[in-house]
Structure formats: structure tokens, C-alpha cells
Structure 1
Amino acid sequence: MKNSQLYKGSLTTIIMKLLEENGRMYGYEITQKVKALTNGELNITEGALYPALHKLEGEGFLDVEVEKVGNRLRKYYKLTENGQKETVNRLAELEGFIKNMQSLVNSKINPEVEF
């Protein structure tokens, strides 16, 4: 299930949840955390991650801090106050979606039931 289309709609929520739990993270750290948490099943590419981070920043949900690490500059991302509130909303929405999908996937459809 690596990089499945099913995950694409949830990417920003995944990022926000990780930032909620970890305070601040840099891009590569986010990709590695997701990979570890999913036992390698989900690999977020840079091509997917950075546009999502930039979108969240543009929406006012993330702050960016630049720090010098060794000889390089590293961007750290953290949730703004609005981002924290939005994370709660998006997680609730995702949980509802998952619950509905479980109901659909686990139901036995009775062909005699009329709609």
C-alpha cells in the first residue's frame, strides 16, 4: 500500500497531527516519523510533503523557524494557534470518515433492502 491514493487526502492532517504531538519538526524528520509509524507502508515524498507544508503555512496554520545546523539552514515547522484549532477539527473529520468507511466495508449488504 505504499503511497496509496487513499492517503493523499489525509496528508495535511497527518502532518498537523505529528506537529501537534512533537511541537516542531523539519521536513525529513516528518517523512521518517511517518515511515516509522507505518512500518514502512507509507512513504511521503518531498514532492508531496513540501507543497503540503507550504499550503498549511499559507493558510496560517504553520509557523516556520530557520535554524543553522552545522553548515546548513534547516526549516522547522510548528503549528500556530489557529493550526492547533484546525488540527482538532481535521482529526475529528478524519475520525468520522474512518468510522463511516469501516461501517461500509464491514457491513453485509442485503440486496433485498430498498433505498
Structure 2
Amino acid sequence: MYSKELTKGTLKPIILKLLSQSDKMYGYEITQKVKDITKGKIDISEGALYPILHKLEKDNVLTTEKVFIGKRVRKYYSVTNSGKQVIAEQTNQINDFINTLSLIFNPKPTLK
């Protein structure tokens, strides 16, 4: 599992990317999907997840829908139309960041 310090800056783009690939998801589902896709290497805690989801909802990137399941309420998150642009920007930015890190950690040999 990667350290919290290493993954902290990538949580928002990860969450947005997953939500963009689904009609709607609830919080626990997001954490489990990330854990499954990364084979347990990235583990998003509820303490890290929900502040991000609440901020994205406040910023009109996400919308919520409450669904009653028995006596419990499950809050589903989905991407708004304006949120799709934010996701595109975040995806481009994270991909560029990965490419930039690659220049440092996997430099190509230079011809002399």
C-alpha cells in the first residue's frame, strides 16, 4: 500500500475519474473500487474521501441522490454537466504530471 503522503494529491482525480466511468456511485463503493483496481495499493479512508466529495458537491462538480435501503439512506454521487469539464482538466493534468515524473524517475539515456 502506498503512503498517505504519496497518494494525497491524487485522490481527487482518482475519485472524479471513477465517477466519470459510472452512472453513480456511493462512498463505500468508491473506496472498494479503488482498492480493487489497484489491488490494495491505494486505500482511500472515509476521512479522506468524504471531505473531497462534499467539496466537489459544493462546487457543483457532483450532484447527490439519496436512496432509502430499508431503514438506511445511501447517498449516491454523480457527475454534473459542468463537472465533465473539470474531470477532463483533472485527467489531462494528472497525465501530464505522470509524464513529468517519468522524466525524473525514468530518464531516457542521452546520446553522447
Tell me the TM-score normalized by structure 1.
0.90
1:42-81 to structure 2, matched below 5 A, reads: 42-81=42-81
Q: Identity over the aligned pairs, expressed in percent?
A: 45
Write the distance in 2 (CA, Å) between the matches of 1:100 and 1:56.
Answer: 26
Letter of the structure 1 residue corresponding to residue 103 of structure 2: S
Write the distance in 1 (CA, Å) between the matches of 2:61 and 2:3.
Answer: 24
Equivalenced residues, count: 110
1:1-115 to structure 2, matched below 5 A, reads: 1-107=1-107
Note the residue ranges of structure 2 that are not aligned, 5 or more in a row: none
Q: Runs of 4+ in structure 1 displaced over 6 angstroms?
A: none
Note the residue ranges of structure 1 that are not aligned, 5 or more in a row: 111-115
Shift of 1:75: 0.2
Q: What root-mean-square deviation, in Å, do the aligned CA atoms of Structure 1 and Structure 2 show?
A: 1.5
Write the distance in 2 (CA, Å) between the matches of 1:10 and 1:2.
Answer: 12
- Seen in structure 2, the aligned counterparts of structure 1 residues 3 and 78 have a Cα distance that, compared at 3 Å, is farther
Tell me the TM-score normalized by structure 2.
0.92
